[in-house]
Chain A
Amino acid sequence: MDVVAVDISGRHAVGGRYIMVSASVAARITPEGIEKTRRMRLVPLVAESVDMEVVIGLIEESVRGLSGVVLAEKGDLYNLERWRVESILGREFKYPESRGERRAMELAHHASFAGRRLFLRLLEEGLGEEAEKSEEAGKMTAGGG
């Protein structure tokens, strides 16, 4: 099964802003684990709030161009029902159930965490300002092995 596991790191206020990085991992999985990682995409965002609109917008941007069922943790989407998230996102969506899906989520979590640390460092060095201002410039994409 092809999935896109999404995880958002930085959903806590730092100096009144939310410095977030969403990582999407497009992978082919089996119920037991990951068969192949296809692509990985990191999208940074600095926002004033983390309401549903912001989160959905970030996830939408993060999974754009990656094919597969979107996976995300329940907490990231405020425990919304699956059908509700599907109708908002307009894409096939599910919460992780199998071991493979959880493994993909774990991968996305590590990627978003590392991505956020990188983003914070860039911001500290003044290099992330552009990423902060321009959404397009801030995207980081990597091909999977």
Chain B
Amino acid sequence: MKGEKTAVLLFREDPKEEPHPEKMEELRGLAEAAGYRVLAEIVQRRGRDRRFQLGRGKIVEAASLLPEKLIFNEPLSPGQIFNIGKEFEVVAMDRFNLILEIFASRASTREAKLQVELARLSYDLPFVRTIESLNKLSERPGYRGSGSYDVSMYRDIKGRMAKIRAELKAVEETGERRRERRRELGFDLVALAGYTNAGKSTLFNRLAEETVAAKDQPFTTLSPTTRAVAAGDRRFLLTDTVGFIDDLPLFLIKAFRSTLAEIVEADLVLLVVDLSDPPELLRERVASCHEALWDCGCYAPIVSVLNKVDRIGPEAAKERCELLKDLAPSPVFISAGEGMGLDQLVDAILEKLPPLEEFLVRLPSSEAGMAQLSRLYDVAEPVEVKYGEEIEVLLRGRREIVARALKGAERARPQPEPGPETEPEPKPEPEPVPESEPEPEPETEPEPDPGPEPSPLAEG
């Protein structure tokens, strides 16, 4: 077919290890997601070949099918790519490169495009260096003749990477400010994380009643999407993020730092697990997710969402849950596709979110007091308000957010200009007074100098 991309998949099995047919399946899924028609799958059980990764015979066999590309599951060194291209006149790529190709084809936002470009350049950098040095092996014309030319591409890449990093830092800072603002508005942040094609976007659509693209293919989602979800008396912001994959190289994680920041900064992570995966693969994939969460520095509490439970029986689901007992905290069985178990999931989310506390705040019955009250209404849930000589408001919210709102109001209040003849009047301080004896401090550290401190009455 004209214009169709074709590929042969090559997989090397380590003779010391058990065969992993599911890894070949994953590679095929990735190749198809990148738009390749797979002509053949070639597996060889042997040690690593220094020149071609696999044996020469297998490469000849693959190249005889005249594919556009040879896709290797194992990472290829710059030298191996060079050797295969030179000797068999076919383009070779490895799994990481394939993932980058998928990312490049799906990136729609400016942020995603920059992230993909940074990842691509990080990947290409050592290759460029090696290929430049390999090309120079035969001769170097002229004394210092081509020196400046040879290193210029390497330098260009380094320069471009620095530029992208600076742009991404600005994006990251914007994201940070956005999340801060959302927290100030009283929202809890919940992020969806999990292996690619685990059903994160389907679950997102169910919980947020949205219609983001959710397909049965890896890496459908690249850029984060955030929507508000109201559950019980809480409201939280749910973010759909990019999926993880086994053996994800660190440079890829670093390139996608601004996207992964949504997970790192979340108050709660929903770790979505495809329970229909074969048991031996299931554990490996959940462990990969833990590794990725660890690598990106996420320490938020986790709710394990065991998805696609409709595809296996309840007995098998329990067995697999038992298999994951040391990897999957607070497990909840759901089927995002069928809409099963969502209520239990919402209950688990509410249970794990940082608790709400009740505060009694007394404000002066003045314009400034009313302004503060209005600000408090934005960030916490008012339970009772009494207007008298003072405004007494009982509200439920998160300690640090209520404290910050009061502090913010303090800062926002205009300072009276002392006139030459009049003494400056003392500023009325909104002193929140505890209704009862103050309880011992909660476990969380209070913020330094939080301004007028609200008094906790009881935990919500």
Contacts and interface: CB of A to CB of B under 8 A. Distances in A.
A32 B294 contact: no
A145 B282 CA distance: 35
B326 A99 contact: no
Chain A interface residue bracket vs B: 10 to 19
A33 B299 contact: yes
Given A1-B326, A31-B327, A99 B294 contact: yes
B322 to A, nearest CB: 13
Given A97-B287, A98-B287, A31 B328 contact: yes
Interface string B279-317: 000010001001101100001011000000000000000
Contacts of A31: 290, 302, 326-329
A98 B290 contact: yes
A99 B295 CA distance: 10
B290 A102 contact: yes
A55 B290 CA distance: 27
A32 B300 CA distance: 8
A99 B287 contact: no
Contacts of B16: 81
A98 B271 CA distance: 12
Contacts of A101: 326
A26 B287 CA distance: 22
A118 B145 CA distance: 55
Contact of A98 (B299, B301, B327): B327
Nearest to A29: B326
Contact of A30 (B287, B294, B329): B329
Contact of B301 (A1, A32, A81, A97): A32
Contacts of B328: 31
Interface string B74-99: 00000000000000000000000000
Contacts of A97: 283, 287, 290-291, 326-327
A81 B301 CA distance: 31
Nearest to A97: B287
B288 to A, nearest CB: 9
A97 B16 CA distance: 21
A101 B291 CA distance: 11
Nearest to A30: B329
A97 B287 CA distance: 5
A101 B287 CA distance: 11
A30 B303 CA distance: 12
Interface in A22-75: 30-33
Nearest to A31: B329
Nearest to B271: A31
Contacts of B326: 1, 31, 97-98, 101
Output the residue of A1, A31, A32 with the most chain B CB within 10 A.
A31
Interface string B10-26: 00000010000000000
Nearest to B269: A32
Given A31-B302, A32-B301, A102 B329 contact: no
Contacts of A33: 299
Contacts of B290: 31, 97-99, 102
A30 B331 CA distance: 13
A97 B299 CA distance: 15
A72 to B, nearest CB: 16
A32 B327 CA distance: 8
Contacts of B291: 97, 102
A37 B294 CA distance: 20
A99 B289 CA distance: 10
A33 B291 CA distance: 13
Contacts of B301: 32
A57 to B, nearest CB: 24
A98 to B, nearest CB: 5
Q: Which 4 A-B pairs have the closest CB atoms?
A: A97-B287, A31-B329, A102-B294, A98-B290
Given A32-B301, A33-B299, 4 more contacts: A97-B283, A97-B290, A99-B299, A102-B294
